[in-house]
Amino acid sequence: MEFVHEVTAYLENKPGRLAKICSALAHEKIDIKALSVMDKSERSVFRFVTDDLEPTKKVLTSLGVEFTGAEVLAVTMDNQPGSLARVLERLAEEHINVEYAYTSCSAPGKAVGVFQTSNSKRALQVLNEASPNGVDRAAGRRPLHTR
């Protein structure tokens, strides 16, 4: 678990706009680690995490793309049923709201969850306490929906 830099780009809702950005990032050898695209009425919201923030910002600027940056929490978890639920339940138990989240497969059997929360520092602390070395201490707990 760690903090990572997320970029949020605001795109015109036109065919090829997302492809142009992804192609430009690929041309600069920038790897997109996780992404989410949401449709809004006139623009799309493209949230993503890359392996290199500064070159990413340069590419977006050169394309005239409006964007912002934020620090978000990246959590590596097993890619199996219940892993995401355990992370979310742990945050809920501590009254930490998940404002938005998305996931991406990162390695065989692993997924990365990207979370924007109401208290990211506390979320990191809570999840590290539950899983300091990748061992999920919450695994024996009853799921929240059964309590």
List the domain boundaries for the chain.
Answer: 2-69, 72-131
- At residue 3, φ and ψ (nearest 5 deg) are -85, 140
Nearest to 44 by CA among 24, 22, 15, 83: 15
Quick one: DSSP state of residue 140? G
> 11 pairs with which residues across the strands?
44
CB of 8 within 8 A of CB of 68?
Answer: yes
Residue 142 has a pLDDT of 46
**Assigned superfamily of 72-131:** VC0802-like (3.30.2130.10)
Please tell me the class of the 2-69 domain.
alpha beta
Helix, strand, coil percentages (3-state) for the chain, rounded to 5, are 35, 40, 25
CA distance to 23, 41, 63, 91, per residue, from 74 (Å): 24, 29, 27, 14
Query: What pTM does this model have?
Result: 0.83
- Provide block-wise average pLDDT over 10 residues at a time, the chain (147 residues): 95 93 97 93 92 96 97 93 93 96 89 95 92 50 50
